[in-house]
Structure 1
């Protein structure tokens, strides 16, 4: 791992892809700069790039300070890297384009903070991770949900053994409501060629990561993917059974076609139960373990225990968690300390692979074993893209086909 930049100068940050999330990353970097005042601070935003040069140029102007210098803005990320010499690049292009920008950054000695998902296939993620490792640069993922206090507390309770041995986990992530207008807003949205999938690839990666972080990585996956109401090529609803060993089966459900939606996690353990509903935690503590109760209690006797609310800090507002994650990553680069990274490239691969396993399982209509076959997944994705090309897209007006390796606009 490369030596840190040190405390004597700010970490130089660039952003590639300044659509929805990229724009937020630029704002967060500017907010961290402003908070430092004239003291130099942790970071300095040095430039941005987007294939929509007019969008990049518009964002390059400071939104509130007419006297602030205009950021260098580029169409080509390689020109950005060469001209501005950043220490860190935040990559917020559509995920099928993450690999090219990330590997070019690694080869230039630039640390990479990547938007979710890390890539559209495990093979692509493998190459990104290998390139960063070979170049000795840090690779982080923008899994900002790990910084939500309720989820941090949940992990603490699970890791401490307060729940005992976990035997069932239920995840519901249905708060991703999207209209048809959302899918029509970009030609790449809701397409196999442009996104490599639907809700699992675009919205759910945060919850796939939270599942892996809190519940662990499953051994086997059986899933069903469906498309309800929306006129899109890809799925908008997925339900999955996630097997851990021989005696634990978890469930995972996500959709963009449900209202009202919610985020709900349930952890059942031999010493208690933990509920997380929209960022609020409740804990049930058993007086005796489930094993003791099942094996020694009289018929008809129910276990004793009680529910309690779990206090947590208030969650960061708006893009606050993204800002905090960027701050942690820049601290890691400054100090040469990868332990300060909130989520690593390997974490990004684990979340991606779990989602890809759901696609592959639904396609094959069978249980798949983790880790999944790279070749099998490549063949699956190519087959979906070919099916659409042969039959025509299911998307409504607003869909634009991308041909000849053309890159879709940033997210």
Structure 2
């Protein structure tokens, strides 16, 4: 079987921890190129993983003609790079948030459809083993309908994650467009939608920069959500959890409670109304402090090989993005907003 040739655009932390090692270890993929505006970074990856180094992604697309492209650059470049890659005939895996506004996301989806290529969004939380188990449990009907929920995602901030530390693009609005809301909040918005198999009907939110001095993006989001089903819940995203990371969710249902991420050895716990407790040791949730194989690359490649629709399609990425965009409008207007 001929290997799929992948080009990775953007050589920051997500490439270091996820995309380079996961593509390099995939038996059906060959890394053909790394591209970064800082040439030394691309050169460093080429020395370790092979391929060719580029500073211009358009030249890379023309010369390499990759089968796959992964876009993990500052958010404002996601749309133009995804569209260019799709127009070059490549399947695209783009990091979240897929775009900075709905119009960009729609153009990305249209480009993929027009060129007959797949577009997948790196909403990796759907692929974490505890979340897959939680989806199975909720879908089984044993717990009944979800009534209320609380979901939280937080860490110390990009200065502890990005290769550029406190000088990272994450803190600049002209490159990131949004801060913790787009970095972490969108993960939870996507997870809630997927786990509940439901859409957000209304968002009320507060979004602020509370502690990241010198930055013009948000470092905290607190949102209340009402789902189409009537379920009510909260979504919290923070870059100021200085005492440690948090990636937890709890769902109160008709027949019991589902907890995710509270106990390391048993990341999924079910507590039924009759007092029964079930604990599932099903693997971990990848975090900045605990890097695990994400499953994103495996899912992307598998979908292309089998001709299946992407597990997290562009359309799904857009729906989750709209929840976060609605939160910004709500925070600005003080009103509840429909995504």
User: 1:333, 1:12 → 2: CA distance?
Assistant: 12
CA contact (8 A) 2:249 2:261 kept: yes
| 2:48 is the alignment partner of 1:62 | yes
| 2:301 is the alignment partner of 1:314 | no
Residue number in structure 1 paired with 2:51: 71
| 2:207 is the alignment partner of 1:225 | yes
Following superposition, which runs of at least 4 residues in structure 1 exceed 4 angstroms of deviation? Answer: 179-184, 316-319
Shift of 1:312: 3.5
Residue number in structure 1 paired with 2:136: 156
CA contact (8 A) 1:165 1:269 kept: yes
User: 1:141, 1:207 → 2: CA distance?
Assistant: 14
Shift of 1:316: 7.2
Residue number in structure 2 paired with 1:408: none
* TM-score between both structures, scaled by the size of structure 2: 0.90
Residue number in structure 1 paired with 2:307: 336
Residue number in structure 2 paired with 1:116: 96
Structure 2 CA distance for partners of 1:145 and 1:45, relative to 1, 3 Å: same
CA contact (8 A) 1:11 1:87 kept: yes
Residue number in structure 2 paired with 1:359: 328
Residue number in structure 2 paired with 1:178: 157
**184-193 vs 109-118, which deviates more?**
184-193
Shift of 1:246: 7.9
Q: 2:218 aligns with which of 222, 232, 235?
A: 235
Q: How many residues align?
A: 327
- Runs of 5+ consecutive residues of structure 2 not aligned to the other structure: none
Larger radius of gyration: 1
Q: 1:262 aligns with which of 229, 232, 246?
A: 246
Task: For CA contacts below 8 A with separation 6 or more, give which structure has more relative contact order.
Answer: 1
**253-262 vs 183-192, which deviates more?**
183-192
Structure 2 CA distance for partners of 1:247 and 1:114, relative to 1, 3 Å: closer
User: 2:74, 2:60 → 1: CA distance?
Assistant: 18
Residue number in structure 1 paired with 2:28: 42
Shift of 1:261: 4.2
- Runs of 5+ consecutive residues of structure 1 not aligned to the other structure: 1-7, 33-40, 64-69, 287-304, 371-411
Shift of 1:245: 4.3
Task: Please list the CA deviations of residues 375-400 of structure 1 after superposition, one character each: whole Å capped at 9, or x if unmatched.
Answer: xxxxxxxxxxxxxxxxxxxxxxxxxx
Residue number in structure 2 paired with 1:202: 183
Shift of 1:249: 1.9
CA contact (8 A) 1:163 1:270 kept: yes
* TM-score between both structures, scaled by the size of structure 1: 0.75
Structure 2 CA distance for partners of 1:19 and 1:320, relative to 1, 3 Å: same
User: 2:103, 2:301 → 1: CA distance?
Assistant: 27
Task: Please list the CA deviations of residues 162-208 of structure 1 after superposition, one character each: whole Å capped at 9, or x if unmatched.
Answer: 1112111111223x212767786335332322211110112332222
